[in-house]
Every structure is written in structure tokens, then in C-alpha cells.
Amino acid sequence: MPTAYANRILRINLSNGNVTKKPLPEGLTKQWLGGKGIGTWLLYNELKLGINPLSPENELIFATGPATGTIVPHKGFILCYKSPLTSIYGSSSCGGFFGDELKRAGYDVLIVEGRAEKPACIWINDEETQIKNAEHLWGKDAFETNDIVKEELGDEEIKVARIGVAGEKLVKFASVTTDYSRVAGRCGPGAVMGSKNLKAIAVRGTKTIEVAKLDELIEFMRQFLEMVKKTPSTGTSYPTWGTPGGVNGANLMGVFPTRYWHKGTLQDFEKINAETMRRRIVIKDKACYSCPVNCSKISKVGEGPYVGAILEGPDYETLYSLGGLPEINDIDAIVAAHELCDKLGMDAMTAGNVVAFAMDCYDKHIITNKDTDGIELTYGNQEALVQMIEKIGERIGFGDILAEGVKEAAKRIGKGADYLAVHIKGLEPAGYDGRGLKGAALAFALADRGADHLTGSVYTYEMRGDIDRLAYEGKAAFLKDCEERFAVFDSMVFCRFLRDVYPWNTLTKVVQLLTGLEMSENELQIIGEGIVNLARAFSAREGISRKDDYWPERFFKEPLPDAASKGMMLDREKYDAMLNEYYALRGWNENGIPSAERLERLRLGHVANHLKDLNQKVES
């Protein structure tokens, strides 16, 4: 049995209160490593087709990896589930310390299924597991819940994964919060937890974690940390500026989504960039476990109408979603809006998108203040942004519609709102406009959970100028390699921001030192490719195909208006060619369905059987 694992899966059924502990099959660690690999495998094999994501049949799979609990820098966990926002494959990654505590309690993976009759809190205390009543916690925000649970259970060291009111109200993009404010943010895992009447999961673990080659690992870490220090992204950029470092470049290049995706540069963007943050609001840097990059920033607003607002953030993504999209260039207001999202426990990226979408509808007179409960939802109105976020979190009035996410909200609003709505597969995009970054455009379109920037992370290479952002050629192959390498990251649970210091050969080294498994680069690549295909197969069975691998029509018709991206848009022919190239490299048919032969090569023969009908449909 490979080392660096706790070697157990903990399964908790909230419907009947059953708690089972099963050994982690050795085959799973060898075939999928951990994290996203094992989580996706379990999700695919355990969930029936076509379930309602808010029903007891959905599962929340918290998966740690071989690096969890060790001195190798790592994230908290990967959470796999069927997304209530998109109704397809859902996965969220979370930073911080929860995963380590779970593994030290003796479990690599925690599966929560069923539904509790009354609000509940799961309490995992090493070998003991209890399902406690949490009715007194219902209605509390994500921060209070953390404090109260730790106080009641009497241990500062307890780690709590919890939902806020947004999760309780089943806001489709509600999130799960751990530590102070590390979030499993996107695709609505908080709503899944809320639908199970599960307010919180508290963990305390005291076991030790061993690795295969400890002395060698420590020596490796010495050199690795030197490498991290010398590399610009990990040694300077992220530690000094955090992700907000990207604001300047994105605006200069004209790809910073502004005015609900109608523009590429925010006026006076310097007011919300990393330097302004450092000067005005950043108090200190924070890191995840063992991480030398410490990209996270703690901010506090010192003066003005939002004085006292405290945030772990903002990050690039929330500067774009709560700043660029609604055209707000007041950093204090963004902090306040983001803090509110964190208190309510919902994804600030989607929140910014839906409110700005509503602003766009308002701007075009598709909705009026009669629809918005009297709120003047005009661009730049930061008060309106904050008020709307509150209404969404509580599902009050117009907030109830926006709480459904942009795709569904557009449907309910009607009157042409569909054309304005920006999403891919039902997920609102991250902060990079595909019209000015052709490779990122493909990456967002193919990302397994919807318009996500992390699955492929191609945006970063185009932003830096490592590859030409305007070229369509070569992007398909580049994306394939990225997706597979980063899928392995998510299985170890490594952070994406270490992408410059983990080429394939370094990955094989770390896998060996941690687990003892001697895997070649090729074998690791197969794991990565397998994960991509498994996630795709899950979603394909739920109806995803080629038609869902596109940006909205607007991006092929309306050019970006400013700065260095002026005039740019997606060329349909070139995009199709790029997409076809990607499918061919992946061994998928023209409709984007994984072929039987590729699946068999990836040891996913049974999946090929499930997709047989879908594969045959193309022929007709």
C-alpha cells in the first residue's frame, strides 16, 4: 500500500445516520492518485444519471491527496459533486487547513450523502463521528458559525467547513467556507450542503502522517524552495502582489471584462490594482499549509463609508467581477461587496456576474426599477451592488431570480436577456475576455465544470506573452497538455500557482518521494487524461456536447472596443478549426464525445459502454 495516505474513506449518510469506514482501495491510489482523480472516479461511479443536484441522492466528496499533511505545499481539498448551478460535473477547490485535519483524523476522503431531517452538524473527532443538531446555527453567517462551533466543541484547533445563509436558501452558487475565509467557491457546493440540511462539518485529527522517503523529501524541498524563490511568479509576483497583480496587464491588453463583457478596460483601473491595495488596505500576507508563495492578502478598509470591512482578498477574480463588470473603481466598495458575499457564503465571481448582467438588462430597459424592487441597478452604483448581493443571499424579491445564476435568470427575465447572458455550460466565466485571448477562449470553453480559468490555465501564458494570444494555431495541443498536468496537480492537491515549478519530471519525483509509487511521466499523463475524460463523460451523459463548447454569440459578433484588443472578436471558422483540432487530439468524435477506443486506452472501458448511445447519435 503506498504511503502518504490515511488509507480510509469515511462515508456519512444523513438520511439514516449511518457512518461507515472503508479501506481506500490500493487500486484507486495507483490509478487516480487522490484529490480530483479519486473524487471524480467516485462521483462518476456512485451517482445515478439525471439526479436532481439538490436531492438526497447527490453526494459531496471531499478528497485530499498524497501531499496533504506534509511539508510539500498543498491546498485544502477538492470537492466533487453534481452542480446545482449547471446540472453537470461540479468540482471546487479550497485552500487552507481543513483537508489536513481530515487526513489526520484518519480519512483520505469524506463522502456525505442523503439528507438530514433537521439542520445538522457533522462532528468528526478522530475515530468518533457524531451527527449533532444544528438548529441553533441555522441563520448564522459563515464567520459566526465557525466561531460558535469551535467554542461549543471546545477546541481551537477544530477545522469547520460550513455554509452561510446563501447555502441554507439554496442559492445556486452558494459556497462552502473553511478556516477564516478559504472557500470552495464555484458551482454551488454550498447549495448541495444546504439541501442536505447540513450546516457544518467539524473535524479534529491527531494522527501522524508518514511518507515513503522522508529524508530525500526534505532534501528535495530545500532545492524546491530555492527554485520557488528564484522563479518570478512564485518568488516575486504572487508573494508581493497576489493575484491582483494581473489587473494592470489585463487592462492594458484590453481583456479585463468591464461593463458586463462589453468592454476590455476599466476607467481608472489603477484605483483597484495591486499597488493601490497594498498602499490602502492590505494588512498582511497569508498562506496555505506549507506554502512559500503566500499569495493571499488580508485587507481592511480604514476610512470612508465602508470603514471596518475586513476581507481575505480581494483577488483578481473578484476585482473583475465586483469591479470591472459593474464598472466600480472604488476598492473600498469592492471589499465591502466581497465581504458580504463571504458572510452570506456565496461565490463572489458569479455574484458579480449576475448583478452586472442585471445592470446590463437595466441599461437596455429590459428590466426597470419595478422589477428590481426599486433599486436603481445602474452601472457604477456600488450601493445597488451591495443591496442586490444581500437580496440574492436571502433570496428576497428580485434576488430570488438572480440567485438562480445568469443562465436561468436570463430565461426567467426573457425579452432578449438570453442574448446578453454570458456563460458556458451554465457557469459564468472567470475574468479574461476570450476575444483577446484565443487560447484562453478554448480553455474556458472546454473546462469540465463550465467557463473556468483554472482547469486549463492557458490565460496565464497568453497574459505573460509566453505564447501569442492572438494565434489559434497550436492552442489545442497546448491546452491538452495543460489540462492533464493540472489535473494531476488537483490529484496531489497542489495549487495552480506552482505551475512554473512543477514540470512533468518534477511531478514524478514528488509522487515517488511521497507515496513510493514509481510513475513515469507517461503514466502521470494517463492519469491526467483519464480525469479529463471521466469528467467529460459525466457531463456528456447529462447532455453536454459540442454545442456547449462555445462562448455566447456576442463574442463572435461584437468586437472588443478598447486598448490593445480593439476590434478583436472570435472568428467562427478559426475557432471551429481549433475546436476540431482539440477533439482530434483528445480522441473525441466531432460532437465532443469521448470515443470508445480512447476510453479503453485510458482504462475506462465501462465508461465507453455508457457513452455508446451518445456516440451512435452522431452518425444519424
Partner 1 sequence: MVIVKVFGNLKTILKTPELEIKIGSKDNTVNSVLNILTKQFGEPLRRELLDSTGKIKAAYSIFVNGKNIVLSSGLSTKLGENDVISILPVVEGG
Partner 2 sequence: MSRKVIVCSNEKCTGCGTCELICSATKEKSFSPLTSRIRPVRIEPFIDVAVACRFCEDPHCVASCPRKALRQNEKTGIIVVDEAKCDACGWCIEACEFGAITLHPSKKTVISCDLCDGKPLCVEFCTRKALDVFTLDALPTKARKSVVEKLFT
Q: Shortest approach of partner 2 to residue 232 CB, angstroms?
A: 15
Interacting residues with partner 1 (CB under 8 A): 232-233, 235-238, 240-241, 243, 245-250, 252-254, 270, 273-275, 295, 315-317, 431-432, 453, 459-460, 463-466, 468, 496-497, 563-565
286 binds partner 2 (CB under 8 A): yes
Q: Shortest approach of partner 2 to residue 295 CB, angstroms?
A: 10
Sequence-separated (6 or more) residues with CB below 8 Å from residue 484 = 525, 528, 529, 531, 532
Give the three cell numbers for residue 370.
419595478
141 binds partner 2 (CB under 8 A): no
Q: Shortest approach of partner 2 to residue 275 CB, angstroms?
A: 19
Q: Shortest approach of partner 2 to residue 284 CB, angstroms?
A: 7
Helix, coil or strand: residue 108: coil
Q: What is the DSSP string of 231-288?
A: SIIIIIIHHHH-GGGHHHHHHHHT-S-BTTTTBS--TTGGGGSHHHHHHHTEEEEE--
253 binds, among partner 1, partner 2, none (CB under 5 to 8 A by kind): partner 1
Output 247 or 534, the one with its CB closest to partner 1: 247
Helix, coil or strand: residue 199: strand
Q: Shortest approach of partner 2 to residue 315 CB, angstroms?
A: 15
Q: Shortest approach of partner 2 to residue 386 CB, angstroms?
A: 21
Choice from 59, 179, 317, 342 touching partner 2 (CB under 8 A): 179
501 binds partner 2 (CB under 8 A): no
Number of residues in the chain: 620
> How far is Cα of residue 25 from the mean position of the Cα atoms in its chain?
27
288 binds, among partner 2, partner 1, none (CB under 5 to 8 A by kind): partner 2
Strands 198-204 and 120-125, sheet pairing: parallel
Q: Shortest approach of partner 2 to residue 64 CB, angstroms?
A: 13
Helix, coil or strand: residue 95: coil
Output 361 or 463, the one with its CB closest to partner 1: 463
214 binds partner 2 (CB under 8 A): yes
69 binds, among partner 2, partner 1, none (CB under 5 to 8 A by kind): partner 2
Helix, coil or strand: residue 219: helix
287 binds partner 2 (CB under 8 A): yes
Binding mask 16-55 for partner 2 (x = CB under 8 A): ----------------------------------------
252 binds, among partner 1, partner 2, none (CB under 5 to 8 A by kind): partner 1
Q: Shortest approach of partner 1 to residue 236 CB, angstroms?
A: 4
298 binds, among partner 2, partner 1, none (CB under 5 to 8 A by kind): partner 2
**Which amino acid is present at 7?**
N
580 binds, among partner 1, partner 2, none (CB under 5 to 8 A by kind): none
Q: Which of residues 216-245 bind partner 2 (CB under 8 A)?
A: 218, 221, 225, 228-229
Output 96 or 194, the one with its CB closest to partner 2: 96
- The neighbouring-strand residues paired with 9 are 22, 109
Residue 34: closest CA among 65, 59, 4: 65
Q: Which stretch binds partner 2 (CB under 8 A): 173-181, 358-366, 426-434, 461-469?
A: 173-181
Contact 515, 2 (CB under 8 A): yes
Number of residues lying near partner 2 (CB under 8 A) = 35
Strands 60-63 and 77-82, sheet pairing: antiparallel
Q: Shortest approach of partner 2 to residue 234 CB, angstroms?
A: 10
243 binds, among partner 1, partner 2, none (CB under 5 to 8 A by kind): partner 1
290 binds partner 2 (CB under 8 A): yes
Output 7 or 248, the one with its CB closest to partner 1: 248
Output 564 or 577, the one with its CB closest to partner 1: 564
Output 214 or 526, the one with its CB closest to partner 2: 214
577 binds partner 2 (CB under 8 A): no
Distance CA 71, CA 291 (A): 9
Q: Which stretch binds partner 2 (CB under 8 A): 69-77, 115-123, 331-339, 402-410?
A: 69-77
Give the three cell numbers for residue 592.
465532443
Cell match 455574484: residue? 351
Distance CA 302, CA 281 (A): 7
Q: Shortest approach of partner 1 to residue 238 CB, angstroms?
A: 6
Q: Which of residues 74-103 bind partner 2 (CB under 8 A)?
A: 97
Output 239 or 393, the one with its CB closest to partner 1: 239
Output 97 or 173, the one with its CB closest to partner 2: 97
Q: Which stretch binds partner 2 (CB under 8 A): 204-212, 259-267, 537-545, 552-560?
A: 204-212
Distance CA 56, CA 231 (A): 46
Burial of 62 (0-12, 13-18, 19+ CB in 10 A): buried
Choice from 17, 56, 249, 292 touching partner 2 (CB under 8 A): 292
Output 5 or 444, the one with its CB closest to partner 2: 5
Q: H/E element holding 202?
A: strand 198-204
Q: What is the DSSP string of 170-189?
A: T-TTB-EEETTTEEE-TT-H
Is cis: bond before 429, omega within 30 of 0?
A: no
Q: What is the DSSP string of 513-543?
A: HHH-----HHHHHHHHHHHHHHHHHHHHHTT
Distance CA 489, CA 532 (A): 13
Residue burial 274-292, b: 16+ Cβ < 10 Å; e: rest: bebbeebbbeeebebbebb
Residue 491: closest CA among 109, 22, 105, 89: 109
Output 6 or 607, the one with its CB closest to partner 2: 6
Q: Which stretch binds partner 2 (CB under 8 A): 284-292, 388-396, 430-438, 548-556?
A: 284-292
Helix, coil or strand: residue 121: strand
Residue 166: closest CA among 147, 135, 201, 141: 141
Give the three cell numbers for residue 104.
489526520
Q: Shortest approach of partner 1 to residue 244 CB, angstroms?
A: 8
Vertex 143: Cα angle to 138 and 144 (nearest 5): 50
Residues near partner 2 (CB under 8 A) are 69-71, 97, 104, 179-181, 206-211, 214, 218, 221, 225, 228-229, 283-292, 294, 296, 298, 310, 312
